[in-house]
Chains A and B, each alone.
Chain A
Amino acid sequence: GIQVEQSPPDLILQEGANSTLRCNFSDSVNNLQWFHQNPWGQLINLFYIPSGTKQNGRLSATTVATERYSLLYISSSQTTDSGVYFCAVYNNNDMRFGAGTRLTVKP
């Protein structure tokens, strides 16, 4: 099945800093999503982005499907951005999640 790799596995930032999270996948995909799992365990949809670029406030995402990667940008990070960021891809009836990037934003 398709392989999904996220990097870095852990990231510690000072409040106000910017960051880039990466998701690489091993095959073509029909769908790609970014989720934020907050410290209470809730999975929150960030972007549904099989290709192209989207922005939502301080967050933006870019997927380059032909090169099999997606990037999530977080600007001016806040402590509430802390949690785990998951990338998930859909390919031929198979929905696969990466192992996640654990982000800690310090005040």
Chain B
Amino acid sequence: GAGVSQSPSNKVTEKGKDVELRCDPISGHTALYWYRQSLGQGLEFLIYFQGNSAPDKSGLPSDRFSAERTGGSVSTLTIQRTQQEDSAVYLCASSGDRGGELFFGEGSRLTVL
């Protein structure tokens, strides 16, 4: 695609429900990152995929968070048993290679009631 695409753009859910957020990176980009941004805050690293290598999951805040990347392209971030503190904008970014220029999607805004 022309840019990084994320869906849904907005998601409102009830506490305890599971949510899935999708990221479609720029075609051909091997590196994919997920970040989280709470209101008025900076970017918090969550997880990094690079090609076929094992992902760097060091930023995932708890075992309720998981992510996968199928076929080296689309990625899904799953949050199980959502909590109110999970409310944030979840941003996906991709780059052509390790350390290459990073491009962001428009984010998925999650609100947990």
Contacts and interface: CB of A to CB of B under 8 A. Distances in A.
Contact of A93 (B35, B50, B91, B102): B50
B71 interface: no
Contacts of B50: 93
What is the interface residue range for chain B against chain A?
20 to 34
Q: Dominant SS at the A interface? A: strand
Interface of A: 30-31, 33, 35, 41-43, 45, 48, 86, 88, 90, 93, 95-100
A27 to B, nearest CB: 14
Given A41-B107, A95-B48, A100 B42 contact: yes
Main secondary structure of the interface of B (DSSP, over half): strand
Interface in B56-113: 56, 89, 91, 93, 98-104, 106-107
A58 B41 CA distance: 27
B99 A86 contact: no
Interface of B: 33, 35, 37, 42-43, 45, 48, 50, 56, 89, 91, 93, 98-104, 106-107
B102 to A, nearest CB: 6
Given A31-B99, A31-B101, A35-B104, 12 more contacts: A30-B99, A31-B100, A33-B102, A42-B104, A43-B93, A45-B102, A45-B103, A48-B101, A88-B102, A90-B98, A95-B102, A97-B43
